[in-house]
Amino acid sequence: MQVRNGLSAHLSSIVSASSPAPSGVLPGGAGVTPEQLYDLVQNLPLIAAWAAGAALVLLVVAVTLRLSAPRVYWFTLGWLLLAARMRLTWRRLALNADISAIDRPVAGLFDDPRAARSRAAVPLIPVLWQIRPRAFGVTASIGMHSGQTPEAFIKAAEAMAHAWGVHAVRITPGRRGSVDLTVLRNDPLTGTGAHEDRDALAEAGRAPVAADLLAEIGRREDGQTWVIDLSTFPHWLITGATQSGKSTLINAAVAQWATRPIALVGIDCKGGMELAPHASRLSALACDRTEAADVLTGLLDEAQDRMRLCREHRVRNIWQLPDAVRPVPIVVIVDELAELYLIADRSEKEVTQRATANLLRLGQLGAALGIHLIVAGQRVGSDLGSGVTALRAQLAGRICLRVNDDETALMTFGDLHPDAVDAVQAISPHDQGVAITTADVGGWIRARSTYQDPADLDAAVAETAPLTPRLPRLDH
């Protein structure tokens, strides 16, 4: 009781000292008596317990939601937490990752230059705004200060990904004076991320964007992610001996393209076995030479339709078309190229010629029309005919896994990067999935594909099967 009276007296002195205003001026503060304040203080543990309980319930709900309905969690709470983290770290990040500008004091016409010099230089933090939730993460914009260019932000992308604990941050120059941020929260290749992303990206009906063409297929020896980006190199040549990892590599890419508005077409003249795991997600699958010729003819018709569409809209490629009319990109996967070129008997000559001529034509026309070739084979030597060399010239993206003969390495890299041929020959049979690949820096680099369990792949394909776009030109 003694303590209580002492405390009341103390509190009343605080209240009278801190609220000298008459009750008309501060209606809220004026009515609080020392007793009420004392009650409040006494109830604090109870209030704290309530708050802790509520927080715990919220946490349990959040965790359950995250596990059972990741998409709902993401759109209700997940993205808000990420946005908060982005905002909280933004200032420090901007200062540390060299993306802040500096406001140097300059003397105006009527200023005293000495006064200007005495003012300190202040860092100007670029403005982070328009953080919006997306299925794959968030998008945002950054307003730049004068003197800044998008390059500095592109360099800082990795630092941003680390600071925000996300898989990757992509920066693209936006409107003049700003850059656009695309924050991808998960790595589509590992753990639950693949599942969530598939969930998320399965927004059927979404207009395709150029970024959909990028597939992450492994790691490079410089630590960077190994990507096949069809908007950089529209067509790819993948060579390697049997069991060197060609199919694994293609699977890694297909598993990602399958989640997006992209049509996949398979040509596998060895009976369709190699591409069979993807069958339910393929818009067409050719299993022999005659079917291949038909599918390639259909694709060429499709290419001509698209050319007409671009002409009508006066644009030079499908990406410049309005969202509403833009056709889906088509990725044509040819496994074992040699099967398409080798003629067993004369009766197949016409079919073979039609197939290979159409393939070459697609290579020449396809890039701007969103038709891309991924051509894989053990051998791509000139012994298959002169058409192969012409086709190879169109396939600017190159990947060479372990080879048994020097000629294949030479055919894959000899024309572009002769020094890469030695590197290919140094790949040992134990290095399954290791390859030499075209790279942005230095021309070529060693890399290794991500191995995906066949069961996981089957599950992934089954899940994306409903997204398979129909290509009327390929229906028979």
Ligand X SMILES: Nc1ncnc2c1ncn2[C@@H]1O[C@H](COP(=O)(O)OP(=O)(O)O)[C@@H](O)[C@H]1O
Return the range that interacts with ligand X (CB under 6 A); candidates 70-78, 167-175, 355-363, 443-451.
443-451
Residue 432 binds which of Mg ion, ligand X, none (CB < 5-8 A, kind-dependent): ligand X
| Known binding positions for ATP | 240-247
| Contact map string, positions 393 to 432, toward ligand X, x by CB under 6 A | ---------------------------------------x
Reported as half-sphere exposure (CB side, CA atoms, 13 A), residue 261 has a value of 14
The strand pair at 122-124 and 101-103 is best described as antiparallel
| 185 neighbors 82 (Cβ within 8 angstroms) | yes
Helix or strand run (H / E) with residue 48? helix 34-68
Smallest gap from residue 402 Cβ to ligand X (A): 9
Question: Would you say 137 or 240 has its CB closer to ligand X?
Answer: 240
When asked if residue 449 is in the footprint of Mg ion (CB under 5 A), the reply is: no
Structure tokens at 225: 């992610």
φ, ψ at 386 (rounded to 5°): -70, -25
Integer-rounded Cα radius of gyration of the chain: 31
Smallest gap from residue 252 Cβ to ligand X (A): 8
Q: In terms of residues, how long is the chain?
A: 476
Q: Where on the phi/psi map is residue 22: left (φ > 0), alpha (ψ -120 to 50), or beta?
A: beta
Residue 248 binds which of ligand X, Mg ion, none (CB < 5-8 A, kind-dependent): ligand X
Site for ligand X (CB under 6 A): how many residues?
Answer: 13
Angle subtended by helix axes 34-68 and 2-18, to nearest 10? 90
Q: What is the DSSP string of 219-258?
A: EETTSSEEEEETTTSS-EEEE--TTSSHHHHHHHHHHHHT
Q: Helix, strand, or coil here: 104?
A: coil
Structure tokens at 454: 């066949």
Residue 244 binds which of Mg ion, ligand X, none (CB < 5-8 A, kind-dependent): ligand X
Smallest gap from residue 378 Cβ to ligand X (A): 8
When asked if residue 247 is in the footprint of ligand X (CB under 6 A), the reply is: yes
Residues of this chain, 235-254, that bind Mg ion according to CB under 5 A: 246-247
Question: Would you say 248 or 464 has its CB closer to ligand X?
Answer: 248
Q: Which residue is nearest to ligand X (CB)?
A: 433
Smallest gap from residue 244 Cβ to ligand X (A): 4
| Contact map string, positions 82 to 111, toward ligand X, x by CB under 6 A | ------------------------------
Q: What angle do CA 142, 143, 149 make, to 5 degrees?
A: 90
When asked if residue 464 is in the footprint of ligand X (CB under 6 A), the reply is: no
Structure tokens at 394: 């169109």
When asked if residue 433 is in the footprint of ligand X (CB under 6 A), the reply is: yes
When asked if residue 240 is in the footprint of ligand X (CB under 6 A), the reply is: yes
Smallest gap from residue 220 Cβ to ligand X (A): 13
Smallest gap from residue 263 Cβ to ligand X (A): 23
Return the range that interacts with Mg ion (CB under 5 A); candidates 272-280, 339-347, 417-425, 426-434.
272-280
Report the distance separating Cα 438 and Cα 442, nearest Å: 9
When asked if residue 242 is in the footprint of ligand X (CB under 6 A), the reply is: yes
Helix or strand run (H / E) with residue 30? helix 27-30
Binding site for ligand X (CB under 6 A): 240, 242-248, 432-433, 448-449, 451
Binding site for Mg ion (CB under 5 A): 246-247, 274
